[in-house]
Structure 1
Amino acid sequence: MTLAARRGRVGRFGTGLLWYWLIPVTAVVWEVSTRQLEAVYFPPPSVIVVRLHEMWFSGPLSQAFLTDEALDDLVPSLTRLFVGWAAAAAAGVVVGLMLGRSARLAALVEPLLHFGRSVPPSTLLPVFLLLFKIGTPMQVASIVYGVIWPVLINSMDGARYVDRQYIETGTVFRVSTTQRILRIILPAAAPKIFAGLRLSVSLALIMMVVSELVGSSEGIGHRLLEAQSEFDIPAMWAGIVLLGVLGIVLNSAFIAVERVVLSWHHQSRKAASDL
């Protein structure tokens, strides 16, 4: 192992230790400072955790400790998040690969793409309300629109810059168009595609909350808005903390899947760095 690789491993180990002790230290500082300052709008973490448990995680064992409120809020929100993200991911990868391999089509469509991704998704919520009315279809459409852009752009760039030797090798062996896409273009573009997918996970969580702030009667976003209107500050912070935890869990799960799917890519990069 080279000196650079050893330093990298030590650096990752140090970063992991930093992560473990930083969380309790931050919680203690937050607890002490908010109790001393008696900040009305910044309750101590202990109060937030208790309210979080009361709202969503104090249910019976038969419901996996989820309360009825949790089933009414978490299940619909997570369903919309996963459906919207999956639809945006599939559409973004397919359209991105098409545009990346067709220079003429990309020249026609790319200006519209840059215009579309420049429009803040929240400004189109009234349009989605007119098209889909209030409910899950409007919220899923909002998530899809907000999530699709990083997947599409990264897929297009990944497909556009595939090594030409790979394409020429496929041509020599008379590989069919389908096999060329599945065995050459898609694997070569996979690192870029997964980078876009990873960005889209956090965007999907944001758009889930934003879409539930408008005309929704359920979901985490609706519960946040309700807590704000009732000046239930601990409940509002409980929703914020829950969203943060969901973001960490979703990101960690995606990284684990990415390591498995792109194991060949990480191994080749590691072998190159060890030389």
Structure 2
Amino acid sequence: MTVVIWWIYSSTSASYAFPPLSEIMTRFRELWLFDRFISDVIPSLGRFAVGLAGGATAGLLLGVWLGASRNARETFDPVIQFVRSLPPPALLPVFLLVFGLGDPMKIFIIAFGSIWPVLLNTVEGIRGIDPTLRATCDVYKISPLKRLTSVTLPAAANSIFAGLKTALGIAFVLMVVSEMVAASGGIGHFVVESQHSYAIADMWSGIILLGMLGFLFNVLFDQVQKRAVYWPA
């Protein structure tokens, strides 16, 4: 319904900043279904996937360790609280100095932003496990690996997936930001370059593509989450 209203309302638009939706969708079809899909969309999604996977894996492993060890948690908590408070975009100059303008910089900034929600939610999920469940594992002398895979992770799954969903959104935003600031390709770079060259319909087509991709990722994640974990009523 919103699209229909936008289409009708903008059909007579003479605004330079808000061209008709029909013009935007024509450019969308020409650019993203054919011309720039391989050159921009695939590289962006590749960096997004690698950065999110790296950050989520690191956050999960560190979260399991810190959640299970009170001493480690108390020792490293001040450092974690300080580092996670740093806005990832503010660290772009540092990552540029260390990694240059290539893909590693973009991947590391995505990973840096996505690690924290997974780590913190994993820690809280493990800390919230029923003490009786822990005691039962001790009584039956369940091995650490078996306890981790059969008890700890399933019990903390709801919290972990909540962190993963937050990380998904953060990673997507950082993918775009890193390409807007320092890149020679990608969807974010295309949007900025279109604005600089006054190709406003092209710019809007890139923004619409990002909205569609973000919506698709959330739908897919929700489906995976529904099949992987149980949310109590």
TM-score (norm 2): 0.96
Which has the larger displacement, 43-52 or 27-36? 27-36
| SS of the residue 1:95 aligns to | helix
Of 10, 19, 26, the match for 1:43:
19
How many residues align structurally?
A: 233
Is the CA contact 2:172–2:214 (under 8 Å) kept in the aligned structure 1?
yes
Q: Which has the bigger relative contact order, CA under 8 A and spacing at least 6?
A: 2
Instruction: Report the CA distance between 1:182 and its aligned residue.
Output: 1.2
State yes or no: 1:34 paired with 2:10: yes
Matched, 1:196 2:172: no
Find the aligned partners of 1:216 and 1:36 in 2 and give their Cα distance.
Answer: 36
Whether the aligned pair in 1 keeps the contact of 2:11 and 2:22 (CA below 8 Å) is no
Cα distance in 1, alignment partners of residues 78 and 212 from structure 2:
37
Residue equivalent to 1:128: 95
Taking the aligned partners of 1:176 and 1:261, their CA distance within structure 2 comes to 24
1:211 corresponds to: 178
Residue 13 of structure 2 contacts residue 19 of structure 2 at CA under 8 Å; is this kept in 1?
Answer: no
What is aligned with 1:154?
Answer: 121
Instruction: Report the 3-state secondary structure (helix = DSSP H, G, I; strand = E; otherwise coil) of the residue aligned with 2:23.
Output: helix
Question: 1:1-275 residue pairs with structure 2 within 5 A?
Answer: 24=1, 26-36=2-12, 38-57=14-33, 59=34, 67=35, 69-262=36-229, 265-266=230-231, 269=232
Post-superposition CA distance 1:76-115 (Å, at most 9, x none): 0000000001111111111011111111111111122121
Tell me the TM-score normalized by structure 1: 0.82
Query: 1:36 deviation in Å?
Result: 4.6
Q: What RMSD over aligned residues (CA atoms) do the two structures have, in Å?
A: 1.3
Matched to 2:57, the amino acid is A
Structure 1 unaligned blocks of 5 or more: 1-23, 60-66
